[in-house]
Chains A and B, each alone.
Chain A
Amino acid sequence: MNKISLDLTVNGQVYEISVSPTLTLLDILRYEIGLTGTKKGCGTGDCGACTVLVNGRAANACLILAPDAKGADITTIEGLAVEGELHPIQQAFVDHGAIQCGFCSPGMIMSAADLLNRNPNPTAEEAKNAISGNLCRCTGYIKIIEAITAVNKHE
Chain B
Amino acid sequence: MSNLYSNIGKRVPKLDAPDKATGRARYPQDLTLPGMLHGKILWSRYPHAKIVNIDTSEALKIPGVMSVITAKDLPYRNSGFMKDNPPLKRDKVRSLRDEVAAVAAVTEEIAEAALEHIKVEYMELPGIFDPEEALRESAPLIHEENKNNLVKMKYKFEHGDVEEGRKHSAHVVKGRFKLHFVTHTCLGTCCCIADFDSKGKLIMYSPSQVPFLHQKDMADVLGMSGSDIRIIQPTIGGAFGSKLDLYPYEIICAHLARIAGRPVRISFTRMEEFCCTPTRQPAIIESEAGVDADGKLTFREAHIILDAGAYVSWGPTIPYVMMNSFSSLYRVPNVSFDTTIAYTNNIYAGAFRGYGNPQGTFVVETQMDELAELVNMDPLVFRILNSNRPGETTPQGMKVTTCGLEECLKRAAKGINWHEDRRGVTGKIRRGVGLASFFHVGGGARVYRSDGCGAIVKIDDFGQVTLITGSSEIGQGSETVLAQITAEELGVRVEDVKVINSDTDIKPWDVGVHASRTTFIAGNAARIAAAKAKRKILEMAAPEMGLQCDELDINNRFIYYKANPEKRVRFDKILRKKHFDYNGNIIVTEHFYDPPTQRQDRNFKGNVSATYAFGTQAAEVEVDTETGIVRVLKMVVADDVGKALNPMLLEGQLEGGIAQGIGYGIYENLILDKGRVMNPTFLDYKIPTVNDMPEIKVEMVETHDEEGPFGAKGIAESGSIPTAAAIANAVYDAIGVRIKGLPISPEKVLKALSKK
Other-chain contact of B652, A91, A94, A100, A128 (Cβ < 8 Å): A100
Are A86 and B682 in touch, CB under 8 angstroms? no
Q: How far is B17's CA from A142's CA once the two chains are assembled, in angstroms? A: 16
Interface of A is mostly: loop
Q: Which residue of A lies closest to B185 (CB)?
A: A137
Q: How far is B480's CA from A94's CA once the two chains are assembled, in angstroms? A: 13
Are B687 and A37 in touch, CB under 8 angstroms? no
Q: Which residue of A lies closest to B653 (CB)?
A: A100
Other-chain contact of A39, B27, B652, B690 (Cβ < 8 Å): B27
Interface window among B1-9, B113-121, B231-239, B370-378: B231-239
Q: How far is B19's CA from A95's CA once the two chains are assembled, in angstroms? A: 13
A46 within 8 A of B: yes
Are B23 and A76 in touch, CB under 8 angstroms? yes
B144 within 8 A of A: no
Q: Please judge, given known A-B contacts A42-B270, A44-B683, A132-B690, whether A101 and B23 are in contact too, CB under 8 Å.
A: no
Contact with A along B628-671 (1 / 0, CB 8 A): 00000000000000000000110110011111100000000000
Q: Which residue of A lies closest to B649 (CB)?
A: A97
Please give the number of chain A residues whose Cβ is less than 8 angstroms from any Cβ of chain B in the complex.
52
Are A142 and B238 in touch, CB under 8 angstroms? no
The residues of B that contact A97 with a CB separation of less than 8 Å are 11, 13-14, 648-649, 651-652
Contact with B along A64-106 (1 / 0, CB 8 A): 0000000000001110110000100011011111011111111
Are A94 and B14 in touch, CB under 8 angstroms? yes
Contact with B along A117-155 (1 / 0, CB 8 A): 000000000001001111111111111110000000000
A8 within 8 A of B: no
Q: Which residue of A lies closest to B683 (CB)?
A: A46
Are B22 and A141 in touch, CB under 8 angstroms? no
B18 within 8 A of A: yes
Q: How far is B655's CA from A3's CA once the two chains are assembled, in angstroms? A: 47
Q: Please judge, given known A-B contacts A37-B24, A101-B238, whether A144 and B652 are in contact too, CB under 8 Å.
A: no
A24 within 8 A of B: no
Q: Please judge, given known A-B contacts A139-B656, A142-B693, whether A99 and B186 are in contact too, CB under 8 Å.
A: no
A18 within 8 A of B: no
Q: Please judge, given known A-B contacts A42-B270, A99-B20, whether A139 and B652 are in contact too, CB under 8 Å.
A: yes
Extra pairs beyond A36-B26, A132-B691 (19, CB < 8 Å):
A42-B270, A42-B681, A80-B22, A81-B22, A86-B18, A90-B22, A93-B17, A94-B21, A101-B186, A101-B237, A101-B238, A102-B19, A105-B21, A128-B690, A135-B187, A137-B656, A141-B688, A141-B693, A142-B655
Q: Using CB atoms and an 8 Å cutoff, list the residues of chain A in contact with chain B.
A: 30, 35-44, 46-47, 49, 76-78, 80-81, 86, 90-91, 93-97, 99-106, 109, 128, 131-145
Q: Using CB atoms and an 8 Å cutoff, list the residues of chain B in contact with chain A.
A: 11, 13-14, 16-27, 29-30, 184-189, 235-240, 269-270, 474-477, 648-649, 651-652, 655-660, 681-683, 687-691, 693, 696
